[in-house]
Amino acid sequence: MIIPGNRPKLIATDLDGTIVAHYGAISARTVAAFRAAHELGIEIFFVTGRPPRWMAEIREAFGFGNAICANGAMLYDLENAKILEQWLIPTENQIELAKRLRENITGVNFAIEFEGHFHREKNYVPNWDLAVDNIGVDFIEELATKPAFKMMARCSKHELDSDQMLEIANRVAGDLATITHSAPNDSIIEISALGVSKGATLAKMAERAGLGAADCVSFGDNPNDFSMLSWADRSWAMADGHPDGAKYAKFVAEPLADDGVAKVIEELIKLPV
């Protein structure tokens, strides 16, 4: 593997599907590679669609690093489990988003997250958060009373796949929010405040540290990663990720099951400073 340039000063990685398997495992090789980079003084950013309440296993596995959660909506102090900054969807945009998407996507239902809580419509079938809110409301507008860090829209009967939903949503509501997804085999899209994305927040954090795209590398597997794959001068899409990943990344890493990210990092830290 030949990688151009010098050793990076910042490594940003997605979690699920990139360094975390679908069953929650993180390989020892992956942890060791990130630890080696960290010990060389490289800033580590875990950049994820997850909310903070799902970050405990990452903190336990690594014990270091920074976090950007909810697809860029939150800067999160991973070690101290504290939200430092948030960029939220205004209530009026939540209501208008629900209206437009209902008009254009058959069978769509909604959930929102704010202040650490997950709220859903009764017909929204959650994959992971059923125990968090097992009641639901008839219409999400009943709960759209506060700015939200994330909004989800789902076709619970899989009327459309996530790519199809994303195309429609961006066409009819892209002026209201940043819309993406991280589950190509499902029927769900993820919504953030307008202008908020993994790439935008990562760029902001890098700038604060006096770094630019040339100093950073990024890894990801799905459309919610494309913004940070595009931004970093050196970036890797996962070989087993979304088929469009290679359009946005500069390189392709081996699949998660083969420790693709760890293999790249092992080479990156050999580069000259």
Q: For CATH 3.40.50.1000, list the domain ranges present in the chain.
A: 10-87+197-268
What's the CATH number for 91-193?
3.30.1240.10
pLDDT at 27 over 80: yes
What's the CATH number for 10-87+197-268?
3.40.50.1000
> What average pLDDT does range 53-65 have in this prediction?
95
CB 182 within 8 A of CB 200: no
According to the model, what pLDDT value does residue 54 have? 93
* Average pLDDT value for the chain: 95
According to the model, what pLDDT value does residue 10 have? 98
Which amino acid type is present at position 247?
K
pLDDT at 144 over 70: yes
According to the model, what pLDDT value does residue 23 have? 79
According to the model, what pLDDT value does residue 133 have? 55
pLDDT at 130 over 90: no
Q: What is the pLDDT of residues 223-255, one digit of tens each?
A: 999 999 999 999 999 999 999 999 999 999 999
Q: Is 62 helix (H, G, I), strand (E, B) or coil?
A: helix
According to the model, what pLDDT value does residue 1 have? 76
Q: What is the pLDDT of residues 187-214, one digit of tens each?
A: 999 999 999 999 999 999 999 999 999 9
Contacts of 112 (CB under 8 A, 6+ apart): 94, 119, 120, 140, 143, 144, 148, 150, 151, 152
Q: What sign has the CA pseudo-torsion 159, 112, 131, 55? A: positive
According to the model, what pLDDT value does residue 103 have? 97
pTM: 0.96
Q: For CATH 3.30.1240.10, list the domain ranges present in the chain.
A: 91-193
